[in-house]
């Protein structure tokens, strides 16, 4: 596991948030083509927000306090959670290619430090460290096919699979397996492609045209390739072992 040192977090407040009604129990990772300071201004113009932004040089900016509900995930669903804004902390990472090219070492190092800090503070379970594309598979492709999910998992952020676990799962229906992991399977093509973005990026088509990528998030006729069913089964096994932390209503505790 890599060693990361204490980082400085710069404050750049945005007013686009509201009060939380639920405990924090998830991290949603995004990317944007803008560098950190520019991204703050873009969010301001769009009247959106994120809790953290990580720039190309690794600079960390915090526009919204953790305790507030930032406006970053939009229409989204993961496991028992509808509208991830209620439950999550959103982290934007600068990527001029929208994740089609590798992220910089400084970014990933600082992201890991930040995520570990938040995971410890809020006891966020590994099953709830997710991509924007995981929670909004029909709408969003970020943080992209080059995002190093396995490296993060090896560093204590999120989960990765052990292929030997596939033999422990008898279920062969991709839809049911995706649902066990946490995906919204109302659109099975979108969910399948989002899974591949996270766990099988070699199956995702690389795209240099960002506008086309944003307008064509997934192939509408995509069918999960059954030659990779063991990867899906191994992931489902791993995710089935770890449940969400109790998602308590903040309002109910008052």
pLDDT tops 60 at residue 192: yes
Q: Is 92 a catalytic residue?
A: yes
Indicate the domain borders of the chain: 22-246
Catalytic residue among 80, 92, 101, 205: 92
Which pLDDT score is estimated for 242? 79
Which pLDDT score is estimated for 5? 60
Q: What is the pTM of this model?
A: 0.94
Residues of the chain above pLDDT 70, percent: 93
CATH label, 22-246, candidates 3.40.80.10, 3.40.50.300, 2.130.10.10, 3.40.720.10: 3.40.80.10
pLDDT tops 90 at residue 251: no
The pLDDT-based confidence of 6 (bands split at 50, 70, 90) is low
- Rounded to a whole number of angstroms, the CA Rg of the chain reads 17
């Amino acid at each position: 596991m890599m060693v990361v040192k204490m980082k400085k977090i710069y404050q750049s407040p945005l007013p686009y948030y509201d009060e939380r009604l639920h405990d924090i129990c998830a991290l949603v990772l995004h990317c944007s083509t803008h560098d950190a300071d520019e991204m703050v201004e873009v969010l301001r113009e769009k009247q959106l927000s994120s809790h953290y932004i990580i720039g190309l040089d690794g600079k960390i900016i915090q526009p919204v306090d953790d305790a507030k509900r930032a406006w970053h995930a939009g229409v989204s669903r993961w496991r028992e959670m509808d509208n991830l804004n209620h439950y999550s902390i959103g982290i934007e990472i600068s990527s001029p290619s929208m994740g089609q090219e590798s992220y910089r070492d400084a970014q990933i190092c600082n992201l890991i430090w930040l995520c570990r800090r938040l995971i410890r503070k809020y006891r966020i379970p590994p099953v709830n460290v997710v991509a924007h594309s995981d929670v909004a598979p029909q709408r969003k492709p970020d943080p992209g096919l080059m995002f190093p999910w396995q490296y993060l998992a090896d560093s204590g952020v999120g989960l990765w699979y052990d292929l030997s676990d596939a033999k422990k799962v008898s279920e062969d229906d991709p839809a049911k397996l995706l649902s066990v992991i946490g995906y919204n399977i109302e659109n099975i093509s979108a969910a399948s492609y989002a899974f591949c973005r996270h766990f099988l990026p070699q199956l995702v088509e690389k795209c240099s045209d960002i506008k086309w990528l944003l307008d064509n998030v997934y192939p509408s006729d995509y069918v999960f390739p059954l030659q990779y069913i063991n990867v899906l089964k191994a992931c489902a096994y791993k995710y089935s072992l770890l449940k969400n932390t109790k998602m308590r209503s903040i309002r109910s505790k008052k």
